[in-house]
Structure 1
Amino acid sequence: MSRIDELLNSAEMARAFTIAVLASVFSSLAIARMTSPVTLGTIVTVLCVLGAAILWVRRAELSLLRIAPTSLLFFMVWALISLVWTTDKGDTLSGWLLLFGYAFLAVAVGHLRDTLQTVRALGDTLRVLLLISLGLEIMSGVLLDVPFAFLGIEGDLALGGPIQGIFGSRNMLGFVAVVAIITFAIEWRSQSLEARIAVPSIALAGMLAVLSASPTVLVLAFVVGVVTLALTIVRHTPAHRRVAVQWALGVLVTIALATALLLRHRIIALMDAGSDFSIRADLWNTILDIVAIRPLTGWGWFGSWAAGEYPFTYINFLLSDSHRSALNAYFDTLLQLGAAGLVLILLLGGIAAVRSWLVASVRRSVVYAWTPLMLVTLAVESMFESFALVGPGWFLLVLCALRAGQSRSWRENIDAAQTGFVPTLRTEP
């Protein structure tokens, strides 16, 4: 083995690569604004080439069948096929390449690092990025009292927020803060992080979540809290009663969702998000009218809405607004890839959520809870933003889907249709 191969195959290179990927992905908006989208694309490309080289050196450890979830491949192929009917082939191709780049980086990290190593690397990265965000907000809103327009920082920290940090919007900061809280808590509970670091880290993320003044943070915090409680109950339930408890929780979730739907107006009023939700409702109704023209295929994949492209400019014209997304990942997928694309993205997230939940239910280590909690966070956030389709959100979705498939895959159950026996994970004592 050559010296280059030894370097690429080393544990140090795997960790350095993972940190570089996470730092680039979660600071992608700041990179694009401070330099240009071309610079961001170049960074992603270089990291993809490096990741491919590392995977090639480690090819003996990999299985081609397990390289990526089948549902992910189907979604990527459908997005690429949309080149046939898109309104702009150039923007669709560039949007797909960025989609592929983030997905490839997630696949590379998923194969190079296990769940605990990934959580620790993500925790280290988010601690630094959140501290940078707080520092810039203090400089802008307290020390200099000058907005940092190139980063979207408005300098409202002294007024109690809302703040954006380096993430471009208060909702994105809120989303990243919730991801950080979950990650820091898992680090702490898995004893990979001491309390003297974990507690301040959680406090930092919680403070930024509050200062973001994002209405979605309240929903995310509540849902993640409930899901964490439910998962804790399942994990501490004796194996012979676990199935019954799972079904009972499923019924409770169904009832809760129905109740939330019936009381949605009161909930929105309590969140003081009436005008914000009204904007979204008008946008979604308009999108449904446009989707009706191409219900199955959509208008072609773009990711973030391309400026000057139909139907995005037409939607903004009708609403006298300047939206850059559908403010809902499900509606965005329906608009761009039609009903077929929506089914594929739901399969990608849904299968991963079920797999990861079952794994976390029976494995002793608390680190296995990270994946289902991330997927729940993404699913709920997708009701209010399109983060799961671009940038850090898409990266996390692919990473979690890959992680779930590594522990529980259809390939392990391929004999079930013939034998009637469905393999299950061994329950750890």
Structure 2
Amino acid sequence: MTPQRMLTALLDSAEFARAYTLTSLTAVFGSFLIERLTSTLTLATIVTFLAVVGAVTLLARRAELSLLRFAPSSLLAFLLLALISALWSTDRSTTFASWITLLGYTIIAITIGHVRDTLQTVRAIGDTLRWLLGVSLALELLSGVLLDTPVRRLGIEGNLALGGPIQGIFGTRNMLGFIAVVALITFVIEWRTHSVSRGVGVASVTLGGFLALLSASPTVVVLAAGVGVATTALTIVRHTPAERRAIVQWILGAVVIAALAVAFALRHQIIRILDAGSDFSMRADLWNLLLDFSAERPLTGWGWFGPWPRGEYPFTYMNFLLEQSHRSSLNAYFDALLQLGWVGLALFVVLGGVAVVRSWLVASARRSVVYAWTPLVLVTLAVESMFESFTLTESGWVLLVLCTLRAGQSRSWRELIDAAHTGAIPTLKPEK
């Protein structure tokens, strides 16, 4: 066997796909730890290497891939707009470098989405987050209980004995809370699909819930409520007879719209209940200022930068006016608006919104509970995007691309085109 065939066989093997997935997810979710223990250049090198390996893997598997179903068109349009924004950016080189970073994470997510199915993806994310959350708890125990001293390099303050807030190896308490909620969804799906033993399932859910609670993140409460409502609604739909599901779906949709309207009307009372007035007040000041700068370039935005670079206008100037040091707008929708204008915001909303609808319909019709993972994670990303910009960078972006790709593979207009070439009839039969 020639070296080329040996390489192709390796890249096409299930063992390599699993190893690549676990390695990539560890690097993505552990990016803050890698960057703090080494350097930004080291993290960039790791992401670049994984993206190149992913691209080569996809090339080796091209015979089993469909060009039409390779990636959602809205994702490709968003990437194209981010690249083109370098033409009007205040710093073209920084915009291009930020775009390369975004592309690298995108290639990693697309590769995982094509070499692993939904259950395999859930298992890989579950294994990765179990390990990373375990490391976070161990370091918090070491810092807050055994040594009673902060770990400055990782930003760990050693507050575990005080009941929090803690952040583990994820940089901020809000990021830990977000990761913990995603982990809880994943752990429950693993447990329900019997992918792990009962003991591992109980321990994993306990670990995720414990760290979510100790993160003391105000957004965790909102996330938990959003995921709880989505889970309840999806359970109702899944247990509804097939002939009545459409009516139930429309009723639930109307209820969601009404609930959002009520929540907006009572937003001040809700903030007081959450006891997060100062935190949300700070966000409101930032968002009001952001809208003023966004109005100067409403359609195109200021160019794609991802996390706010230091020394770049208007980001540094906004921080100067607020006397803050924000690295994002603390809202993914507003960041998309500021950097890519209304066009970019529309593409971002379409990318996530279409994926939610597709994955929700699939989860409603399929018997296996594993299909519930995609819509529930998408709901988590949608809610978290109202308070943080995690969805536009690193692990949040990888999760978004993974979910949109999975939703597009299960239910898409591309199935009709594929059917015309293959003679297959794309169907999604509801399971009673």
TM-score calculated relative to the size of structure 2: 0.96
- Structure 2 residue aligned with 1:32: 35
Secondary structure in 1 matching 2:80: helix
- Structure 2 distance, partners of 1:428, 1:240, is 11
Unpaired runs of at least 5, structure 1:
416-421
- Structure 2 residue aligned with 1:306: 309
- Structure 1 residue aligned with 2:21: 18
Unpaired runs of at least 5, structure 2:
419-424
- Structure 2 residue aligned with 1:84: 87
Per-residue CA shift, 1:11-65, capped at 9, x if unaligned?
A: 1100000000100000011111111111111001111121122222211111111
Secondary structure in 2 matching 1:119: helix
Q: Where do 1:25-424 residues align within 5 Å?
A: 25-413=28-416
**Partner AA of 1:130 in structure 2:** L
- Structure 2 distance, partners of 1:381, 1:46, is 29
**Partner AA of 1:374 in structure 2:** V
Secondary structure in 2 matching 1:165: coil
Per-residue CA shift, 1:280-299, capped at 9, x if unaligned?
A: 00000000000010011000
**Partner AA of 1:73 in structure 2:** L
Q: Please state how far the C-alpha of 1:144 moved relative to its aligned partner.
A: 1.3
CA contact (8 A) 2:151 2:158 kept: yes
- Structure 2 distance, partners of 1:144, 1:423, is 60
The 10-residue stretch of structure 1 (44-53 or 10-19) with the greater mean CA deviation from structure 2: 44-53
- Structure 2 distance, partners of 1:424, 1:262, is 42
TM-score calculated relative to the size of structure 1: 0.97
Q: Please state how far the C-alpha of 1:3 moved relative to its aligned partner.
A: 2.1
Secondary structure in 2 matching 1:167: coil
CA contact (8 A) 2:319 2:326 kept: yes
Q: Please state how far the C-alpha of 1:414 moved relative to its aligned partner.
A: 6.1
Secondary structure in 2 matching 1:86: coil
- Structure 2 distance, partners of 1:254, 1:6, is 50
Which structure 1 residue ranges, 4+ long, deviate > 4 Å from structure 2? Answer: none
Identity %: 67
**Partner AA of 2:50 in structure 1:** L
- Structure 1 distance, partners of 2:41, 2:254, is 49
- Structure 1 distance, partners of 2:142, 2:157, is 11
Q: Please state how far the C-alpha of 1:4 moved relative to its aligned partner.
A: 2.1
- Structure 1 distance, partners of 2:86, 2:249, is 42
- Structure 2 distance, partners of 1:148, 1:397, is 31
CA contact (8 A) 2:333 2:345 kept: yes
- Structure 2 distance, partners of 1:254, 1:70, is 27
CA contact (8 A) 2:242 2:431 kept: no
Q: Please state how far the C-alpha of 1:423 moved relative to its aligned partner.
A: 7.2
**Partner AA of 2:191 in structure 1:** W
- Structure 2 distance, partners of 1:87, 1:7, is 44
**Partner AA of 1:378 in structure 2:** L
CA contact (8 A) 2:109 2:401 kept: yes
- Structure 2 distance, partners of 1:152, 1:310, is 28
**Partner AA of 1:89 in structure 2:** R
Q: CA RMSD in A?
A: 1.4
Per-residue CA shift, 1:255-294, capped at 9, x if unaligned?
A: 1111111111111111011000000000000000000100
- Structure 1 distance, partners of 2:228, 2:427, is 27
Secondary structure in 1 matching 2:414: coil
**Partner AA of 1:104 in structure 2:** I
Per-residue CA shift, 1:93-151, capped at 9, x if unaligned?
A: 11111111111100000000000000000000000000000011111111112211111
- Structure 2 residue aligned with 1:419: none
- Structure 2 distance, partners of 1:169, 1:98, is 21
**Partner AA of 2:226 in structure 1:** V
Secondary structure in 1 matching 2:68: helix
- Structure 1 residue aligned with 2:422: none
